[in-house]
Amino acid sequence: MNEMMKMVKYAVRVVMVSFVLLGWLAGPLFAVPSAEAPPPVPAFSVVSLDGKPVGSTNLTGTTYIVNFFASWCPPCRSEIPDMVTLQNQYRHKGFTFIGVAVNETEPTIREFIKKNKITYPVVMANEQIVNAFSRYVDGGIRAIPTSFVVNSSGKITQVITGARSKDVFEKIILDAQKKRKTSK
């Protein structure tokens, strides 16, 4: 009987660890349920490191993904080359990424942008932008990368915690672009 209990406890642990690892590997993806209206993007206004204004007002009508990241974050670094490729591919079709650098210094991020040939706007995180988006994540933004998908109507359609592949980001962009075309 003692051996049977050990096997049951072991099996329960294996199942629990499997769920934790699966969640960690996939990263939670929260889509706004279709029965509920997507929440509006919070009002925000910042200046990118190239000196241009970036905000909810001047992005009206644009589909975009706000990506909170850091140069020292391995999952963030892994998805950035794909984001740069997709930015170059879809920027002329009404799409952009917005990078929000957290827990960084400006000189470090400027070097990181140059090294990684980042072509989308990057801003330094400040209290206003972090607080504005944190309300859409249980407990606030605690993990990076965290991305917010905003449709051309200014609604947050997805909150993504964890890195994503080029294919996943491209599907999100294409879906958002398709909705944009049908909503006109």
Residue 37 has what pLDDT?
75
Nearest to 86 by CA among 22, 147, 41: 147
pLDDT digits (tens, 9 = 90+) for 96-137: 999 999 999 999 999 999 999 999 999 999 999 999 999 999
Q: Please say if the pLDDT value at position 8 is more than 90.
A: no
pTM: 0.78
Q: Please give the pLDDT value at position 3.
A: 60
Q: What is the mean pLDDT of the chain?
A: 82
What's residue 74's pLDDT? 97
pLDDT > 70 in the chain, percent = 77
| DSSP strands (E only) in the chain | 29-31, 45-47, 53-55, 63-69, 95-101, 122-124, 146-150, 156-161
Q: What is the pLDDT of residue 1?
A: 55
**Could you tell me which residue, 9 or 121, shows the higher pLDDT?**
121
Q: Which domains does the chain have, with CATH numbers?
A: 29-182 (3.40.30.10)
